[in-house]
Structure 1
């Protein structure tokens, strides 16, 4: 059984992109992972591309998407801590991870957010 998971943040250029990539990496064929933003930036943050490459994950082919670009039913919708900027998306399960936006962090802070996302994704996948 494939589980559909949507990760949502405002710009869809940092946190939700990393979460989508980790879900695909660790979920294999058991998960269909997507990400979207309530106000997409239109690009992936170069820092996200760089720090994910350190983990062997290529984000250079990803694109920043709008919530209007995703549809269907989801087993889980995970917001990244963007508060009121993330609209309600129906799902069997909904969580807010309250993660800080690493966009303007130094490399050490950005990596810490990346590693926190990976740990949460692994926990989420194990519970689906």
Structure 2
């Protein structure tokens, strides 16, 4: 199952989603992230917070939407007040983080939301009946 996390710059919210996606993945998912206008580098404050919590950000860097697979099972909008280009995705989920300014709080919310998404998707996969997150 292919999951893509997207936002504007792919320097903070979506790339943190990708990082947690990789952290909590048991091999069930292929995890990606991208931005509509990718930044030149990771958000420094976010990177420091993640690394202070033991999550290395080595190997993570902002990428363009063109790097996503052409077909996703789940497209996760981080809540960055953007209109994502139309992608072939079976499901679109909005994490709704547009009003969360505190980076540490935002990271904790992303962590919880990624875990919840994975649990929902795994339940749906087993029962093939879950249609929304």
CA positional deviation for 1:101: 7.0
Tell me the distance in 1 between the aligned counterparts of 2:76 and 2:7. Answer: 9
Tell me the distance in 1 between the aligned counterparts of 2:70 and 2:52. Answer: 33
Unaligned ranges ≥5, structure 2: 122-133
- Alignment of 1:123 with 2:116, yes or no, is yes
Displacement over 4 Å in runs of 4+: none
Structure number with bigger Rg:
2
- TM-score, length basis structure 2: 0.83
Number of paired residues? 121
- Alignment of 1:18 with 2:11, yes or no, is no
CA positional deviation for 1:69: 1.6
Unaligned ranges ≥5, structure 1: none
CA contact (8 A) 1:48 1:59 kept: no
| C-alpha RMSD over aligned residues | 1.6
CA positional deviation for 1:110: 0.8
CA positional deviation for 1:85: 4.1
CA contact (8 A) 2:36 2:64 kept: yes
Deviations 1:103-128 (A, max 9, x none): xx5xxx21100000000000100111
CA contact (8 A) 1:43 1:63 kept: yes
Structure 2 counterparts to residues 109-120 of structure 1, below 5 A: 109-120=102-113
Provide the residue aligned with 1:97 in structure 2: 95
Deviations 1:79-116 (A, max 9, x none): 111233422222111011121376xx5xxx21100000
Deviations 1:49-96 (A, max 9, x none): 111112221113211000012223211100111233422222111011
